[in-house]
């Protein structure tokens, strides 16, 4: 059953500097993680419910199943990506695992 890691980044102090690192450094790290089926990043442009623009970005990384996801995060490439996440994620950013319908 397909699962995905869903990451929600809150608003950084400098969104453009964040995106430069995100697209130039973080994305390439994600691409090196073994077992990744595909991944997608997106930048929020609007709160469609007229609420707060709580998050700056969402990223999703799809894996074949939970075992593959867990193994992937335990690899050197997974750990390097997690370290970079720790460096860039603004306070309040979140990371979840979801089972795709």
* Binding residues vs its own copies (CB under 8 A): 3-6, 23, 27, 40-49, 51, 53-55, 57-58, 66, 94-101
Instruction: Tell me 51's DSSP state.
Output: S
Q: Both tokens of residue 99?
A: 């089972």
Residue closer to its own copies by CB (options 23, 76) is: 23
Judge whether 3 and 99 are in contact, CB under 8 Å: yes
Minimum distance of its own copies from residue 35's CB (angstroms): 15
Minimum distance of its own copies from residue 50's CB (angstroms): 9
Distance of CA 26 to the CA centre of its chain: 9
Minimum distance of its own copies from residue 76's CB (angstroms): 18
Nearest of 10, 83, 72 to residue 38 by alpha carbon: 72
């Amino acid at each position: 059953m397909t699962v995905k890691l869903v990451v929600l980044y809150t608003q950084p102090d400098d969104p453009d500097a964040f995106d430069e690192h995100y697209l130039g450094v973080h994305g390439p790290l994600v691409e090196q993680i073994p077992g990744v089926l595909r991944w997608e990043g997106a930048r929020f442009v609007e709160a469609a419910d007229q609420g707060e623009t709580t998050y700056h970005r969402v990223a999703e990384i799809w894996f074949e199943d939970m075992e593959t996801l867990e193994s992937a995060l335990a690899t050197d490439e997974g750990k390097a990506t997690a370290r970079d996440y720790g460096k860039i994620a603004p306070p309040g950013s979140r990371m979840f695992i979801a089972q795709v319908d």
